Chain A
Amino acid sequence: MNRPWLRLDNAALIFPAVRNSRWVNTFRLSADLKDPVDPGVLQQAVEDLMPRFPSFYLRLGTGLFWYFLEEVKEVPKVRPEYAYPLTHMSVKEQRRCCFRVLYHEKRVAVEFFHVLTDGSGALIFFKNLLAQYIWLRYGEAAPLEEGLVDLKEEPREIELKDAFQRCSGQYPMSRREPTAYRLKGRPDPGGIIHVITGIIKTEDLLAAAKARGVTVNALLSAVMMDTIAEIQAAHMPRHLWKPVKVTVPINLRTVFQTETFRNFSLVLNIGVDPRLKDYSLEELCREYKNQMALEAVPEKMAARIAANVLPQWAPLMRAAPLFLKKIALKMIYNRVGERKGCINISNMGRVKLPAVMESYVERLDLMIGVQYTYPNNCAVVSYGDKTCINIVRNIQETELERRFFTRLVKLGISVRIESGEKEEEA
């Protein structure tokens, strides 16, 4: 009964409040290994990580006033992959453990409920899991670099802290901004999340970005904005156009120099209003760069954090019972959460592993589940010489993916497409 527990961090507060029986905010990291996965060894690795990563082995509990995270009753069992990536994580499962470890042939995947951590925190856990798996399976120990930690050590206090509280500013920034265009489509009849992966040589992408004087993320975001603007132009009369914006998560660990393993990122909505002008790709790249330089600075980030943190401690909010809080948080989420962007572009950047591990890990993938109202979402990760762009969708149309990847091809970047679609036997 006296299991250790944690308060939810500030960003995590929103996720259990806005979940419902069909949708919950999840994301997934997966790695393709050299050999088929040994589930017994993987299970052992999952068990070995538990003492060092107490902020992951948690289940979501419901209190009278807040949700809380409590240590799991038993270590989660690794499971063979089930159906399609990011299958719905039911409330029942969240009460058991907020992440799941899956394997399929040569692939290891971990799917996290966002309440635990964000992409960067999850990556640290995932790297350590892979390192432990490789150590147990092949007897090759990786040096403690590139985010690997010593599993024999005690967890450090800073890793379990909610960094939002420390980094919050005094004065909140308004969340007000114009509502963005919303992508639409016919929902998939089976409620299945489809994935289309574009694999690109990282050098090609870097060269194309460098030629425009921007980062890879800026280039991809600009291409995405261009694509969405095209889709809007194709489906809407001009007087009904809305701003086209991409939602870019910013990893605050680098901004505020902290090493927390829990949620510590914020999203920025970067975009343009296509009614003003037909933006060219170069202009979109420039817009991205300028807006990012303007917004992604510590003082403004602190003000944005303050807008989330200060209400958390408002006496009325604290005293309200959970069901009232849920209503309030849902309203906030509907007003400012998903209406201000068209799609997420979550770029984990270039992931490095110790040289020992690189010979065992062939490919890394990041996927973020669809939002409640966005039918598409996009996640990017570079590893080795490949960049994987995963676009998920819960609609039937592949218009966004087709336009996005063909746009990249037109820029002279060679794209290889893989998909999880099963094909009808001819």
Chain B
Amino acid sequence: MYCVKCGVELEEGVKSCPLCGTAVWDPEPKPRTHHYNPDLYPVKEKKNRTTFLILITLIFAAIPLGCLIACLNYYGHAAWSAYVAAAFIFVYLAAVLPAWFPRYYPSIFIPVSFLALGGLLLFICLYTGGQWFLPFAFPVTGLAFLFTYGAYWLTRIGIMPRIKLRLIGVYFILLGGATILVELFLHITFPKPMFNWSIYTAGFFGAFGLFLFIASFIKRLRRAMYKKMFV
């Protein structure tokens, strides 16, 4: 039997040519004689992380509990051990929780991490009787989330390089603006002067972003930059 397309001789009983995939028409079909491989496929070994994760979880539960017991013994109420517990919950949600899943899902875990951070800050604010959560911690955490998520999205997105460069430029300009906002929130919440440091960061990020934004329109500059800076 021969493949009509490749002209090579084939084994008895094959249904298609292994080289080009052309179907083989055999007037007298025969069973396939030669088997290279046994009819087995390997079971992919999956690394079992469960034991390790359970151990980590136990440690994460045991340390705050120990602190709580110590606190109750000394003070009769949960004094500083509440902070420890809150911090451990935050670290667990941000770092250990993703490990329970087969892979890291950024669209879920990045928001979860920032929610946990927000929760931690809210707790500390309420526990200490502060007034700084709503005017300062909440918007700053929100901004940090937006920019982290934006950075992730920018690295993943598959678009033309020059458009991407333009977007990165915009990202840095916005980042510069965000630093002004952070100082504004500081100014509102605490008795701090406005425009003390943020003009420098905003100026730096803004200029860098503007440079990238402009460079994205100039082909020669882009090429020259790539030559010097590719990784």
Interface residues of A (CB under 8 A from B): 80-85, 87, 104-105, 190, 192, 195-198, 398, 401-402, 405-406, 409-410, 414-423, 426
Contacts and interface: CB of A to CB of B under 8 A. Distances in A.
A417 B8 contact: yes
Given A198-B8, A406-B8, A417 B39 contact: no
A419 B37 CA distance: 9
Contacts of A419: 11, 14, 18, 36
A42 B3 CA distance: 38
Interface residues of B, number: 25
A398 B20 contact: yes
Nearest to A424: B15
Contacts of A84: 37, 41-42
A138 B21 CA distance: 42
Interface string B39-76: 11110000000000000000000000000000000000
B9 interface: yes
B18 A83 contact: no
A85 B38 CA distance: 10
B160 interface: no
Nearest to A191: B44
B36 A420 contact: yes
Contacts of A195: 36
B9 A82 contact: no
Q: Is the interface of B mostly helix, strand, loop or mixed?
A: loop
A233 B135 CA distance: 63
15 contacts: A82-B38, A82-B40, A83-B37, A104-B38, A105-B35, A192-B41, A195-B36, A398-B21, A402-B6, A402-B20, A405-B8, A417-B18, A417-B19, A418-B18, A419-B14
Give the 4 A-B residue pairs with the shortest CB-CB distance, closest first: A420-B36, A419-B18, A402-B19, A416-B9
A414 B3 CA distance: 12
Given A401-B19, A405-B6, A406-B6, A85 B37 contact: yes
Interface in B1-40: 3, 6-11, 14-21, 32, 34-40
Contact of B15 (A85, A401, A423): A423
Given A196-B19, A405-B19, A417-B19, A422 B39 contact: yes
Nearest to A87: B42
Contacts of B8: 198, 405-406, 409, 415-417
A179 to B, nearest CB: 16
A288 B18 CA distance: 30
Nearest to A405: B8
Contact of B18 (A190, A196, A406, A409): A196
Contacts of A426: 15
A87 B32 CA distance: 24
Given A196-B19, A398-B18, A398-B20, A418 B36 contact: yes
Nearest to A408: B8
A83 B36 CA distance: 10
A339 to B, nearest CB: 17
B17 A417 contact: yes
A6 to B, nearest CB: 30
B10 A82 contact: no
Nearest to A80: B38
B226 to A, nearest CB: 16
B40 to A, nearest CB: 5
Contacts of B19: 196, 398, 401-402, 405-406, 417
B24 to A, nearest CB: 10
